[in-house]
Amino acid sequence: MSLQTGFIYDESYFWHDAGNGVLGWRAGGWLEPDTYAENPATKRRLKNLLDRSGFIKELKSIAPRKATPEEIALFHTPEYINKVKALSDQQGGDAGMMAIVGIGSYEIAQLSTGGALTAVDAVMKREAANVYALTRPPGHHAERDNGMGFCLFNNVAVAANYAREQYGLKRILIIDWDVHHGNGTESGFYDDNEILFVSLHQEFNFPYNRGFVSDIGEGKGLGYNVNIPLPAGTGNAGYLYALEKVVSPIAEQFEPELILVSAGQDASPFDPLSQMMVTAAGFGEIAAFVKGMAERLCQGRLAVCHEGGYSTGYVPFCSLRIIESLSGKKSAVEGDPFQMGIQGLPTNTLFPHQKEAVDQVVKIQSEFWDIGKGLA
């Protein structure tokens, strides 16, 4: 019998309490308390959608375990880990810029990071064909010594180091398609030639001063950091062009033994924290492209970990299409329930300025990789 796509989640993920406020603050006291942008709804509604549609039966449900402090220290400093625990044990507080720790958040964050480790184990031990981990709190903004942007522990970064230590891997590809730059992951592997980090993100979004095309790594890691900053308004066509012209040819030469994905479904037209136009179908196409790379290059070893995405109505459908692509099966959910709101948008058009942005990456990265031949 063929292996199924694994699905990892835990009810505790939905109980991480980051308070209220538009983005964790109350706009100088001028607004009444609002729902926190990184709230449980998008993740819980994805699980609800999988259950309601019956598609959960097509997946292998896998329970996550807690990451130990020693495992989290594969990426984070002990001082920072202790800080998060102390805040969690007391009254909560800030672990960094826009990184709120609620009471009990430390144990939930352990379980979130543990979800990423469980995903690695599942694909490495061939317990699942690939895995989607519905991890929360997210991780890719978290630096070694502080949290940032809703992120406490950097789930994917810890998982990459865990894969190296546990399985002796020497070439791991991390693809971050969250609309915001994965600054924490970039910082952690900037001088590392065993981790190839690729970030597709909206330029000048968050953090506004990170993720430039000229940030290409240093020392041994020179050329192993690939930023693809895309202009506001980029849709399915722009993302697929970047995957085809930059990510795939570099990955072919790198020959990864494992692919990890920081999957943020916040590049959609409905997201309140971005200005992009990737549709649910587009996310499915992106996932199918990456799955195809994994099948060609690393025996299908692919672990996808949930990051951002803040449209409580649309993220569940975007994520469903991703999981469908990973599994190779279709759910009972036909079409796009939000089509009326986006049918006039040029989501499948590659505009010249978007192409130019990707071609600029090709030009810079061609100094390190054999890419760009025949580029118009």
Asked whether residue 376 is domain-assigned, the answer is no
pLDDT at 193 (0 to 100) = 98
- Confirm whether 89 is domain-assigned: yes
Structural domain includes residue 374: no
pTM above 0.95, yes or no: yes
The pLDDT score that the predictor gives to residue 31 is 74
Catalytic residue IDs = 141
DSSP assignment of 172-210, as one string? EEEEE-SSS--HHHHHHTTT-SSEEEEEEEETTSSSTTS
Determine, yes or no, domain membership for 372: no
- Answer yes or no: is 169 within a domain: yes
CATH number for the domain spanning 261: value is 3.40.800.20
Q: Pseudo-torsion of CA 217, 258, 139, 310, nearest 10°? A: 110
pLDDT at 34: 76
Q: Which domain holds residue 143?
A: 5-333+340-365
Give the chain's domain count.
1
pLDDT at 30: 75
Q: Is residue 304 part of a domain?
A: yes
Query: What's the rounded Cα separation, in Å, for the pair 58 and 50?
Result: 10
d(CA 260, CA 215): 21
Q: What's the pLDDT score for residue 27?
A: 63
What CA–CA distance (Å, rounded) separates 136 from 331? 24
Element (H or E) spanning 201, and its range? Answer: strand 195-202
pLDDT of residue 22: 52
Q: What is the tens place of the pLDDT at every residue in 243-279?
A: 999 999 999 999 999 999 999 999 999 999 999 999 9
Residue 306 is encoded by which pair of tokens?
Answer: 């949930």
Domain presence at residue 92: yes
* H/E stretch holding 230: strand 225-230
Answer whether residue 307 is part of any domain. Answer: yes
Rounded average pLDDT per 10-residue block, the chain, 376 residues = 94 90 60 83 97 98 98 98 97 93 97 98 98 98 98 99 98 98 98 98 98 98 98 98 98 98 98 97 98 98 98 98 98 96 96 98 97 74
The angle at the Cα of 187, spanning 185 to 190, to the nearest 5 degrees, equals 100
Residue 375 confidence (pLDDT): 67
